[in-house]
Structure 1
């Protein structure tokens, strides 16, 4: 589908070029991407891969399709394109050389994470990537979404990067939960995480929001396998049965949609973070998408109106009151499941188009040193007006 974006009423961003292909053949899809990005020489490209395309076949085709480009990316559980939510799109975001510089490193074999090695590798990258006066820095992290290591990894990155903010998303695999991978130097890697250190002359701000509020229903994890993010008992009862009782559905009807609409929350000070449930494990266990431990106090969450919170969360401006040039978004796949079930996909996609959001559906989100779930995390980039202070 060459020229797939030409029929959209879409205001293109100035600092990035976006290309999308729906072709089922990886080599042909990359050829379409190359054609749409013709005449550009970006600093780097982010590639968000749908689960129907083979990462190995994409990697084999990359050298001929994009021979001079620096390409990073990951597999996904869905994409956010200029059309909004999609499932089968190969998305390329080309970051203009005039606005962006990048350095990267790969954390391989992250199960288990070595905090000391991550901190040292991160500090070394930051030292070697010399700062340009007048420009700002941020970091993006793309991690294997099945590694169960993001909580520790992001905390280590926060220590290594110090005052550089970190945002990102965990790679996905549709709803298969079999193999998730990150892309660097023409190769896809699982059990790995990709860190990008980015320098830009644009101003930017981080976004992070969900649509849940705590209820009066409390539960305590009474038996867990923390290294597997697995809960076997809640309130002294089999975990799946107790959770089903609290959300008032038969245990046989538990599903990703039920988990999406009835998350559990963990309180940190005055802030509640979502600890999303991935799936039932065996007959009675529950596998989570974030860190879990014995004795952890959980609160059942109740959803607020999801489109309204999306509206308010994306409604950011710079100091001059201008909207973002674009928003790079990392959106939990469970949010999309809930939006789909409620028939709100068209409305959500319209909001993404209006705010020029581009990104992917994740297995978890990273926001300022914390690994979260069922959250939209993003970075809004603004092009300063001529003469405006940075």
Structure 2
């Protein structure tokens, strides 16, 4: 179990840290800058130049001009620093949840090395091309086995191909821990933005391979437990992620029966409170419901196929479960790169628990954004928090 955590990050800017001892790897530096700040680029440059980053991540909305911001940072930080970003449904900064902001995260070159692979035409599912490109990329990166390595994936959610994408990644680079968050655009499901070095890549997925002197550990937490109510998907549209029938009945009608909620009372809130779970191996993964279609189907945020057996989920305490998952880490984290489903944030807001969760996110030093879907362990899931904890290396 972990020992007492360090003090939370102060303010809405970078954390204050003592000067590191010689030879001790440095953790990333994070800032959350309000959207209306006209000096956003200057503030980020002033904070990041002294640490000499090899990679800067930006999470915000397309309206905030991520490509232009990326170009300005790239010009100031130099060609050795890669700038990658995506749009979000909300941000997680040093003080927890924030809105209408850009969260920036700089990885110092003295402790990190980063490579970037852009997987284009995500909607066309060129699996063979992806596989070959990822293998060449990994071989060319030449990871140092003496250091920790992990992957970060930022796919376009509207292409709806995250399931095959993460499976391809897992097959192309087996054994590499990979976390990801599907780029979002508020709750409007408008076109998202993926940016690399100031250039937008619509419809692409951006994959990053990170190597570091710090220890790393994957974290995931979904605040649901399976009930004894199950249903078989008897008709579906896998491409559009729609269930037409459950137990040979109209999908929305059968879901209403399973939940005990009237059909005309099904809302986004009720869907978020009672998700469908798909069991893979020993774990249940959330298959969140986005909406009911006009003809009584259920549109999901993850892949679905006829023959899948789904279990109705029951919500548990989101804040306590999150704290327990973080406390299970072997050492207190210096930082956690986190991807948190927007449906979790909406549920917290409606339950009046946003402030409490923000306190926990700040306490455990989580930085990231709210997504349309999360990726980890070769799976695409929903209503889940996934993160990569960066911790001090083991002694010796």
Taking structure 1 as the reference length, what is the TM-score of the superposition?
A: 0.90
Number of positions where the alignment pairs a residue of Structure 1 with one of Structure 2: 380
Report the Cα offset of residue 66 of structure 1.
5.5
Contact 2:70/2:198 (8 A) holds in 1: yes
Structure 1 pair 12/277, CA: closer, same or farther in 2 (3 Å)?
farther
Q: SS in structure 2 opposite 1:244?
A: helix
1:353 aligns with 2:365: no
Contact 2:35/2:64 (8 A) holds in 1: no
Q: Which residue of 1 aligns with 2:344?
A: 335
Report the Cα offset of residue 233 of structure 1.
2.1
Q: Which residue of 2 aligns with 1:301?
A: 313
Contact 1:78/1:361 (8 A) holds in 2: yes
Mapped to 2, the partners of 1:134 and 1:186 lie a distance apart of 33
Which structure 1 segments of 5+ residues have no match? Answer: none
Structure 1 pair 303/6, CA: closer, same or farther in 2 (3 Å)?
closer
Decide which of 374, 377, 388 is 1:368's aligned counterpart.
Answer: 377
Q: SS in structure 2 opposite 1:111?
A: helix
Contact 1:239/1:284 (8 A) holds in 2: yes
Decide which of 39, 42, 45 is 2:50's aligned counterpart.
Answer: 39
Mapped to 1, the partners of 2:70 and 2:374 lie a distance apart of 25
Structure 1 pair 9/169, CA: closer, same or farther in 2 (3 Å)?
closer
Decide which of 201, 204, 209 is 2:221's aligned counterpart.
Answer: 209
Over aligned residues, Cα RMSD in angstroms?
2.3
Which structure 2 segments of 5+ residues have no match? Answer: 1-8, 19-25
Report the Cα offset of residue 353 of structure 1.
0.9
Structure 1 pair 9/253, CA: closer, same or farther in 2 (3 Å)?
farther
Contact 2:58/2:104 (8 A) holds in 1: yes
- Please identify, of 215-224 and 352-361, the stretch whose mean Cα deviation from structure 2 is larger: 215-224
Contact 1:316/1:323 (8 A) holds in 2: no
Decide which of 344, 369, 386 is 1:377's aligned counterpart.
Answer: 386
Q: 1:103-252 counterparts in 2 under 5 A? A: 103-132=115-144, 134-252=146-264
1:56-102 deviation per Cα after TM superposition (whole angstroms, max 9, x unaligned): 55456555565654201211111111111122120100001111001
Mapped to 1, the partners of 2:336 and 2:200 lie a distance apart of 25
